[in-house]
Amino acid sequence: MIRSEPPATATAAAKAATAASVDPRSQTVQSLVRALHIMTILGEADGPMSLTELARAAALSPSTAHRLLTTLQQERYVRFDSATRSWYVGVQAFISGSGFLKTRNVVDLARPRMRQLMDQASETVNLAIIENHEVVYLAQVECHQMMRALAPPGSRLPLHCSAAGKALLARMAPQYVRNMMEQRGLPRFTAATLTTLEALEADLETIRTRAYAIDNEEHAIGLRCVAATIYDERAQPIGALSVSGPKARVTDERVAPLGALVRQAAAAVTNELGGTAPG
């Protein structure tokens, strides 16, 4: 008598699949993913949400959503208002999120995006911040061109004649910028340097509109830079990425495409920092 049996490998695979379907560890992971999804929904909501709203948004049954919310409530990641029958983000979520703010490092987070931007633009990429009313370069990824722009970490430039500086100034309060410039002055470095407050303010308005800044030989003859702002969680400017190169390569035709690339890179760094761009 001949019996037909499934291959041993198929039988083993079937048993493994059956075991996985009832494995408590799998169920635990699934519950964790669902709970985190609920936290994401609550965190992105404009206000508190009812159980029905949360269950619908998370694609869960109300009973499952309630079980997960109750667990999160015990650990203070969410809180329930019995008067309004609504759920809110809890204090522990804030405490955990604050831990990220303490440990984030803008240079480490930005460097992969800087390398990617250098590959896309084939020009040198810089990361800068404002310190003591000057642009300070924190990091640089050099391009592979024979002739390239160099601004080693620690280098400083005036705000009013650098693309990174103007990208940051454009997102600061106008009166603060005016006071700063009146105190520091707008010294001339080339014939293209903006040396009046009116000219600078007009340029900053343009920068806000197109979302990137240009240094068109304003600090050094023959050098062009394009920069975009990096924002923190309060939509405040905390840094800028810039692409720098000789005017012979950074031609008029390349400025807009480079602006789009640097804007995308800065937005990606902002997102990885937990920041948000101004509305």
The model's pLDDT over 51-63, given as tens digits with 9 standing for 90+, comes to 999 999 999 999 9
CA gap 232, 266 in Å, rounded: 11
For 86-117, b/e burial (b = at least 16 CB within 10 A) is: bbbbbeebeeeeeeeeeeeebeebbbebbebb
The residues, ordered by sequence, that sit 6+ positions from 100 with a Cβ below 8 Å of its Cβ are: 274
Question: How far, in Å, CA of 272 to CA of 231, rounded?
Answer: 10
- Domain covering 104-272: architecture: 2-Layer Sandwich (3.30)
Residue 98 pLDDT = 60
Q: Under DSSP, is residue 126 helix (H, G, I), strand (E, B) or coil? A: strand
Long-range contacts of 42-46 (CB under 8 A, 24+ apart): 42/78, 42/87, 42/88, 42/89, 43/89, 43/93
- Identity at 187, one-letter amino acid code: P
According to DSSP, the residues that pair with 157 across neighbouring strands are 135
The mean pLDDT value for 149-170 works out to: 88
Could you tell me the pTM of the whole model? 0.65
Average pLDDT, the chain: 86
| Residues 242, 164 contacting (CB under 8 angstroms) | yes
Could you tell me the residue ranges of all domains in the chain?
A: 8-100, 104-272
Minimum mean pLDDT among 40-44, 59-63, 84-88, 196-200: which range? 40-44
Q: Give the pLDDT confidence score for residue 26 in this predicted structure.
A: 67
Residues near 267 by beta carbon (within 8 Å), at least 6 away in sequence = 228, 277
In this prediction, residue 44 carries a pLDDT of 83
How far apart CA 225 and CA 115 sit, in angstroms, is: 17
Residue 266, Cβ neighbours under 10 Å: how many?
28
pLDDT at 202 (0 to 100) = 96
Task: Find all residues with CB under 8 Å of 167, minimum gap 6, and list them.
Answer: 207, 212, 213, 227, 228, 229, 237, 240, 242
As beta bridge partners, residue 131 has 134
pLDDT in tens, 249-277: 999 999 999 999 999 999 999 999 889 99
Nearest to 262 by CA among 114, 149, 158: 114
Q: For the domain made up of 8-100, give the CATH fold.
A: Arc Repressor Mutant, subunit A (1.10.10)
- pLDDT(6) > 60: no
Report how far residue 135's alpha carbon sits from residue 239's, in angstroms, rounded to the nearest whole number. 9
What's phi and psi for 189, nearest 5 deg?
Answer: -115, -35
How many residues in the chain?
279
Helix (H, G, I), strand (E, B) or coil at 3: coil
> From the CA atom positions of the chain, what is the Rg in Å?
26
Query: Is 163 in contact with 215 (CB distance < 8 Å)?
Result: yes
